[in-house]
Amino acid sequence: MFRKVLTTVHEREEGHAAPLGGAFIAGAGIVLVGIGAASDTGWLAIAGGIVGGVGFLAYDFLHHSQLDAEFFKRTDDLMGKK
């Protein structure tokens, strides 16, 4: 049941679940930044910033490769471009 829901969300155009992994990584990094800053642990805040940055880049890459590329492909097909 849960797998079917995830597959449906991923395949339908309203869902766009592909970039979700990058968003989770970025969110975890931002939480680490907050914990590191609150506990005055510099290395944890720096590591959280790095993880957050990597997560943001992963989100952007996944969004572009999964959603934008498909959108442009369909647009080019409608316009008759090859």
Overall domain count for the chain: 1
Identify the domain containing residue 53 by its residue range: 19-79
- pLDDT of amino acid 38: 94
Report whether 25 contacts 57 (CB < 8 A). Answer: no
> Does the residue 39 lie in any domain?
yes
Distance CA 45, CA 47 (A): 5
Note the pLDDT tens digit of each residue in 13-68.
Answer: 655 666 778 888 999 999 999 999 999 999 999 999 999 999 999 988 887 777 77
Contacts of 30 (CB under 8 A, 6+ apart): 48, 52
> Does the residue 34 lie in any domain?
yes
